[in-house]
Structure 1
Amino acid sequence: MSGPPARPLRDLRNLTPARVGLGRAGASMPTQALLEFMLDHARARDAVHAVFDVPAMMRGLNDIGLEACEVASRVHDRTEYLRRPDLGRMLDPASQHLLAGRAGGARQLAIVVGDGLSPAAVNAHALEVVRSLMPRLAADGIEIGHAVVASGARVALGDEIGAILGARMIVMLIGERPGLSASDSLGAYLTFAPKVGLTDEKRNCVSNIHGSGLGYDEAAFRIAWLIREGLARGLSGVALKDESGAEAPRTITANSTQHDKSET
């Protein structure tokens, strides 16, 4: 007795942006599938090399009530950024001096916006995430003590920034590694008691923030939950399980997928 017929591959394609059921033309992919692959690959490369619009980011943060300062890592250009990840995790001396002059006071939280591996994602989404996050933090009585815009940034650059500023917690909004299904994905990395030398197990991450992924409202909800609980419990990373999903309505789009990102 035969089982139920398999669902057509075209039905599966409606459930995922992954490349499945492409068909074939002889021993090769169909022309349309090949052209779509080449287009997505080009978009991913363009996202990596996009210009980080620092002036627009600074204006946008100021417009929503955050007085931001601009810093940079020790990389000199985009080529060096890609070849020397270690330099993207260290502030240049001028930035260290600038932040040292702004340190002091009881600062619970610092927000850092960094270009990362997809400046295009940061240009497109970071301001809207911050805009959605601010009223949620205000409702919890949490003030953003510092806002920083960082060029040539890797995730760990936030640790040095937070340590110099004396922030109890740092939130790093940064462009994630572009993929063939999403070239403009933004990630948020949260670290309690930031200091130089921390590893990724000390961080929480909310990833896949983009048009076909996690929406701004749900991303802000998750980030605010992690900030509130992290500050209350005095920890972050693997010791802080994200249980915000039990409270928040799902707003992920039908075409989105959940997959781990890594931007270090």
Structure 2
Amino acid sequence: MKFEPTQPGNPHRLTLDQHVFPKAGIQRFTNLDGSVEIFVKKLNRALQLRPNNSIFCAKRVWDQKTESGVGKRIEDRFQALARAIISGSVTTIGIFEKRIVEEFFSLWRTRHKFKTEGLADISLHGITGASLTKDQQEILESNHTLYAVDGAMKGRLMASLHIFGYQNQFLLDTQSIQWGIARSYSDEFIVPDSFDDMMIVPVSPRIAIVADLPDSVITRDQVAAINQAAMARASDYYFARRLSVCPVVREISPPFERRFDDRSY
């Protein structure tokens, strides 16, 4: 979908660069100079970039309600859980934590889908809608209000409905799934732009939440299996604190074969 710029100066402070994987999550993987090492597939090389770089973002693909309302609430709950896991105050994924992890995983995956596929505008047959100025449209969006112009609604305005639809189906499909906290002593995890069907959520360079894995300190080979899955499923890039300390293997071992059946996506 074509990027729609705001009015000059963006007077209503609409978010233009929208992080697919949250900025707060990327920041936990930064090195001492505040950047992460990212391998960009189309360039076939690694770069040092900061978490606010636009490569990590979609360009105004979803609306402000989805960004600062729906998405932020899911992100905030997950970031609080991530901090608790890192500090050691949460050591297992119980019923309450499971919901937080699954809502976040679905949000991350859905945002990536939005970024790569876009959201088509919707024609409202038989409804012409009011003629709105650019300023009026932006005021409505900043107030999380839907609107139509010339009988059509911009696809990004319907993003939150897609978020909830995909999320509800995902929660139904994963009712029997248990997540575990995987910790590594020295080897570090790679984060892809999307894990696609592999149900893994990186938390920090040495901690990940993995479906169907008991809470455990995992081996170098297991970290390598997760990293290989990350690299294989990344569409545009993957990153880490230091790629050189992220082991990789060519075959995925059985504990990491849990995948999400994405027929509803």
TM-score, structure 2 length as denominator?
A: 0.26
TM-score, structure 1 length as denominator?
A: 0.26
